[in-house]
Amino acid sequence: MSNTSVQSGSSPAPQGVISRFIGIITAPKATFESVAASPKWLGMLALTTLISAGGAALPLTTEGGRDALLDQQVRAMEGFGMQVNDQMFDQLRKRNVIAPYTTAGSIIVASPIITAVIAGILFAIFNAAMGGNATFKQVYAVVVHAGVIQALGQLFTGPLNYFRQSMTSATSLGVLLPMLPDGSFAARLAGMIDLFLIWWVIALSIGLGVLFRRRTQPIAISLFAVYAVIALGAAAIMSRLGGTH
């Protein structure tokens, strides 16, 4: 099995941003072949970041959404042993008036950085440890385009949470298991198993498989193993700190 990455001289013609966005959903392998050959990422990064920022901020434009955020903030502070008095509660409520703007702004700032970190880790693993020869630009472009799935998730959950006036995920396993004790390890873990996150891992695995000429299945298994470790660790820490409510 070849370990060499896709060579730009033998790939399909470049596609437009909208075509690539749709292609990641409907024909990911062919679309990633185009991305690997012509690793344009700026337009797609801008599009997916703006969609994600808008979707995350939308529920916070409602009073119910801001109340849900306030409840999350109070629970988190109490989980770290802090006592939230009336003055602190009022300050949090006042700050949350601008929560749609701060949430959107933080995503716009953080998205390129987080994408670069993920791409850097994958670049080091596949190139240095596994003998690949892709450029960082190619890896970065693949990670950016896998982000289409996360943006699609926000397109779905943002409006849904707006009407629900809620900040909880509508696509996680926790929605199907409402009987789990709130704040428990099982509830925290179920809340981290999200349909769009699973889809994102699959899309990223396809992209990396195309770029490095490797089978998708072993890549997906490895990424899902990392996902499982992170989810288990985070759920254990959060349930231990937050306790049950």
**What residues are paired with 172 via a beta bridge?**
194
Which pLDDT does position 245 carry in this prediction?
A: 41
CB–CB of 162/65 below 8 Å? yes
Residue 239 has pLDDT above 80, yes or no: no
- Sort 180 into a burial class: Cβ within 10 Å, 0-12 / 13-18 / 19+: middle
Q: pTM of the full predicted structure?
A: 0.86
Q: What is the per-residue pLDDT for 2?
A: 44
Alpha helices in the chain (DSSP H): 17-26, 28-37, 42-57, 63-79, 86-95, 99-123, 136-164, 173-176, 185-192, 195-212, 216-242
Comparing 49-53, 59-63, 170-174, the range with the smallest average pLDDT is: 170-174
Work out whether the CA dihedral 240, 220, 150, 190 comes out positive or negative: negative
Q: Which two tokens stand for residue 5?
A: 């990455």
Question: How long, in residues, is the chain?
Answer: 245
- Confidence label for 45 from pLDDT (cuts 50, 70 and 90): very high
Give DSSP secondary structure letters for 41-54.
Answer: -HHHHHHHHHHHHH
Q: Name the one residue in this structure whose structure tokens are 């997916």.
A: 48
Contact 187, 177 (CB under 8 A): yes
> Is 60 exceeded by the pLDDT of residue 11?
no
CA distance 79 to 45: 35
Residues 181-232: tens digit of each pLDDT: 777 788 878 888 899 999 999 999 999 999 999 999 999 999 999 999 998 8
Question: What mean pLDDT value characterizes the chain?
Answer: 87
CA distance 207 to 59: 32
pLDDT over threshold 60, residue 136: yes
For residue range 147-189, list pLDDT tens digits in order: 999 999 999 999 988 888 887 777 888 777 777 777 778 887 8
Per-residue pLDDT tens over the stretch 67-86: 888 888 887 777 666 787 88
Give the Cα separation of 34 and 94 in Å (integer).
Answer: 48
Is the confidence at residue 1, as pLDDT, over 90? no
pLDDT at 145 over 70: yes
User: Which tens digits make up the pLDDT trace of 103-132?
Assistant: 999 999 999 999 999 999 999 999 987 888
**Model pLDDT, residue 130:** 83
